[in-house]
């Protein structure tokens, strides 16, 4: 009992937010295993909200010695394991399992590199695991609901049979990008951050929309994240042209 009490004293306000992150991540895992794929994707997005809030809380309160470790473990569960379980459950193939394990390993290496070698630049080296997981969750949410469009949008509904392949492709691509040294800017510093928050909120709320509309905001957020994914190529090109 004394040990438990001493441990609780070490937990600071930001750590509780990180623990909520884990709860959402585990919820996403259980929902994915139950076949509730859209709900699982939303829970991953909610975990991302908690991940953003723990940094906000840490800047305004005291942080403890456990904070960095709890945060990394929470990210491993919610943005490493949960997306893998979601996409493997959707696909049901051995190939998805292999790609999923590779994604998880790359995600863990990405987190370890971030902790061991803090960036001295204002951006990121390789895409953050949180962004990768949000990307996959939005794509899954979009593909799961695009079949319900009213009136039917044929060219979008044609994507439905290829959902597992599309998800596996992007999971493999993001695995390499996470451990790369490709520079990514912090979106919190950009002028479009408030717009992103607004669309992100609508994407989370899309779980309560009619099926015919549930694809819309996940699709918009996915396109914005796709632009973010390829943005270093444009940034590099613009620097060369200057």
Task: Inform me whether the pLDDT recorded for 148 exceeds 80.
Answer: no
Above 60 in pLDDT, residue 67? Answer: yes
Residue scoring higher pLDDT (237 or 69): 69
DSSP assignment string, 62-106: ---TTHHHHHHHHHIIIIIIHHHHHHHHHH-SHHHHHHHHHHHHH
Set out the domains of the chain in order of their start, with CATH numbers.
11-231 (1.20.120.1760)
CA 160 distance to own-chain centroid: 22
Residue-level pLDDT at 212: 66
pLDDT of 8: 72
| Number of alpha carbons in the 13 Å side-chain half-sphere of residue 148 | 14
Residue 141 has pLDDT above 70, yes or no: yes
The answer to whether the beta carbons of residues 25 and 77 sit under 8 Å apart is: yes
Are the CB atoms for 88 and 97 separated by under 8 Å? yes
Average pLDDT over residues 60-72: 78
Judged on CB neighbours under 10 Å (0-12, 13-18, 19+), 29 is buried
CB within 8 Å of 115: residues ≥ 6 apart: 68, 72
pLDDT band at 151 (very low <50, low <70, confident <90, very high): low
- Which distant-in-sequence residues (6+ apart) come within 8 Å of 21 by Cβ? 47, 50, 51, 54, 71, 74, 75, 77, 78
Say if residue 29's pLDDT is above 50: yes
pLDDT, tens digit, 9 for 90 and up, residues 165-193: 999 999 999 999 999 999 998 877 666 77
How sure is the predictor about 152, in pLDDT bands with cuts at 50, 70 and 90? Answer: low
- The overall average pLDDT reported for the chain is 86
Report residue 242's pLDDT band, with 50, 70 and 90 as the boundaries.
Answer: very low
- Let me know: does 179 contact 126? Beta carbons within 8 Å: yes
3-state secondary structure of 111: helix
Q: Is the peptide bond before 169 cis (omega within 30 degrees of 0)?
A: no
Share of the chain above pLDDT 70, in %: 87
Confidence check: pLDDT of 87 > 80: yes
């Amino acid at each position: 009992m004394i040990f438990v009490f001493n441990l609780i004293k070490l937990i600071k306000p930001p750590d509780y937010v990180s623990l909520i992150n884990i709860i959402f991540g585990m919820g996403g895992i259980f929902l994915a295993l139950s076949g509730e794929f859209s709900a699982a994707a939303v829970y991953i997005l909610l975990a991302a909200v908690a991940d953003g809030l723990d940094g906000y809380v840490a800047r305004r309160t005291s942080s403890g010695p456990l904070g960095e470790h709890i945060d990394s473990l929470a990210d491993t569960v919610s943005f490493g394991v949960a997306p893998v379980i979601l996409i493997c459950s959707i696909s049901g193939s051995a190939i998805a399992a292999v790609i999923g394990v590779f994604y998880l390993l790359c995600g863990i290496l990405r987190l370890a590199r971030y902790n061991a070698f803090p960036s001295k630049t204002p951006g990121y080296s390789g895409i953050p695991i949180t962004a990768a997981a949000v990307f996959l969750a939005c794509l899954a949410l979009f593909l799961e609901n695009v079949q319900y469009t009213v009136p039917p949008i044929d060219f979008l509904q044609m994507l439905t049979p290829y959902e597992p392949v599309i998800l596996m492709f992007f999971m493999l691509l993001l695995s390499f990008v996470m451990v790369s040294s490709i520079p990514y800017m912090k979106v919190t510093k950009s002028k479009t951050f408030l717009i992103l928050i607004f669309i992100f909120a609508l994407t989370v709320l899309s779980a309560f929309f009619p099926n015919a509309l549930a694809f819309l905001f996940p699709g918009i957020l996915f396109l914005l994240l796709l632009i973010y994914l390829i943005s270093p190529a444009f940034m590099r090109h613009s620097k060369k042209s200057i």
